[in-house]
Structure 1
Amino acid sequence: MDWTLRPAGGEDAERLALIGAATFLETFAGILEGDAIVAHCAREHGVESFRALLSADGSAAWIAEAQAGGAPLGYALVTAPKLAQAEPGDLELKRIYSFSRTHGTGLGTALMGRATGHAESVGTKRLLLGVFAGNVRALAFYRRHGFETIGERRFRVGSQECEDVVLAKRLFGEGR
């Protein structure tokens, strides 16, 4: 599958919301309760949520689209960090999502490259992210890209308590 990457802005909020909700459902159907997924996606992956994220200071995003027809396939979004492990000079890779049919095409690596390149260009010390502890494929992907475990966080989706692994990749400063 051929795809292209471009910077995403507020005008792309609907496209990002569609990808975000669909890939969240694709990943967590059968793991989380259906009603909880629907409610979570409406709140966290709605158009207004993306408009707010994209307009926040320090945010940047990139969207991947199919070369044939321009359908949205994935995206990456960096924001000011909201993780407890954040330190001054950090950025958070808030989301990096793509449809499973794009796995193995290099799309994830290209999105990670855009996010990391942006973080380096603004002098970020560390790039942080949280990932569902049971998402073995994603954890392996992040480790291949130089991320290391620095902690965990717990959160609720509906009545289910979930656990994320918090990872960091050092970009500038000590240890690099």
Structure 2
Amino acid sequence: MRIRRAGADDAGALALAGAATFLETFAGILHGRDIVEHCRKQHAPQVYADWLDDAGAALWLAETAEGAAPVGYAVIAPPKLPLHDLSEDDLELKRIYLLSRFHGGGVGRELMEQAVAEARVRGARRLLLGVYAGNTRALAFYARNGFEHVGERRFQVGGNTYGDAILALDLRR
């Protein structure tokens, strides 16, 4: 397994990993039509190409060592979260996903370490994220990585709205 900084030609691989991990994570939890619509819009290659072109964003791709199949990724970018104390020196972990087959092997932790290190290099005071409030596995992962609950938001997936927790990691500690 290897993790590397994603480049301009990785939009397709990121989109594939994004849609696959979203489907795997939420199939049986969210309505199927909502998942398909969400992936069609939010995991289109152009979404990732736009992030890759944005100097404010950083992306990492986790790949199998043999064949370089995309199995996970992480994205940080300027935040777009409904927090009253949001500031210019905050960053948001927009996405961090890994196929479940690769959970428990340290790849998720390494993706998180890359994102946190980049946020520190950029001088961010906090790394923020939104996570589905019913995703207990993800909430536990974030808690193990030092994130704390700081708010809530409503998140649209397809035709339905779901509750997200907003978490923050204080990078000044």
TM (norm. structure 1) is 0.94
Extract structure 1 runs of 4+ deviating beyond 4 A: none
Task: Give aligned pairs, total.
Answer: 171
Aligned AA (2:15):
A
Q: Which runs of 5+ in 1 are unaligned?
A: none
CA distance in 1, matches of 2:110, 2:156: 31
1:1-176 aligned at under 5 Å gives the runs: 3-85=1-83, 86-172=86-172, 176=173
Aligned AA (2:92):
E
Shift of 1:127: 0.2
Shift of 1:87: 1.8
Aligned AA (1:88):
E
CA distance in 1, matches of 2:135, 2:7: 28
Question: 3-state SS of the aligned residue for 2:92?
Answer: strand
CA distance in 1, matches of 2:162, 2:7: 30
CA distance in 2, matches of 1:28, 1:133: 12
TM (norm. structure 2) is 0.96
Aligned AA (2:132):
F
CA distance in 2, matches of 1:159, 1:98: 25
- Bigger drift between 50-59 and 6-15 goes to 50-59
Identity %: 54
- Bigger drift between 64-73 and 102-111 goes to 64-73
Q: Report the RMSD for the aligned CA atoms in angstroms.
A: 0.9
Q: Which runs of 5+ in 2 are unaligned?
A: none
Superposed CA offset, 1:87-117 (max 9, x none):
2200000000100000000000000000000
CA distance in 2, matches of 1:132, 1:154: 9
